[in-house]
Amino acid sequence: MEQIYLAGGCLWGVQEFIKYVPGVISTEAGRANGSAQPTENETTQSDGTQNAYDGYAECVQIEFDPRITSVTVLMEHLFEIIDPYSVNKQGADVGEKYRTGVYSTDAQHLAEAKRYIASREDAGQIALEVLPLTKYVASDDIHQHHLSHFPEDHHLCHIPWDLLHKYKS
């Protein structure tokens, strides 16, 4: 099994979508590549300053079976649910933590993601970062599989419900 981290705006929607993709073994909602040491407080402070998640991108850690799927296929699926031209914004979610990205500790994963982007006709317009994973922090339990447990919160997600479950059997 292999791991890759995909960021596509709100992690609830990305996790709800990607966990049903063939070849995905497990998912975990979290944050990638931030600058601060994380704490339990995940929200912006009452005075508007950022908290210990400064610089992190909301992401989903994906364990996948490379005999069934590939980084290229996972990228194709990610592009089904994101606006790849948007910087720090997906749907109504705005801010650095909602940037799109692909992160991995495996250089081959990053090279494959870059090849996928380069192969697209719109490659010059794509605002997706492809970077080595430097830090990862799992989200609190309330964020794990959130839309499965609380489907009434779907109105907070930019991905249409039918698309979220496109691959659900």
Tell me if residue 4 falls in helix, strand or coil. strand
- pLDDT tens string, the chain, 169 residues long: the values are 999 999 999 999 999 999 999 999 999 999 999 876 655 444 444 444 445 567 899 999 999 999 999 999 999 999 999 999 999 999 999 999 999 999 999 999 999 999 999 999 999 999 999 999 999 999 999 999 999 999 999 999 989 999 999 999 8
Q: Which two tokens stand for residue 142?
A: 């309330």
For the annotated catalytic residues, the residue numbers are 10
Contact 1, 25 (CB under 8 A): yes
Which amino acid appears at position 76 of this protein? E
Angle between helices 71-81 and 11-18 (to 10 degrees): 130
**0.95 surpassed by pTM:** no
**Which tokens hold the place of 125?**
């317009």
Write down all domains in the chain, each with its CATH number in brackets: 2-34+56-165 (3.30.1060.10)
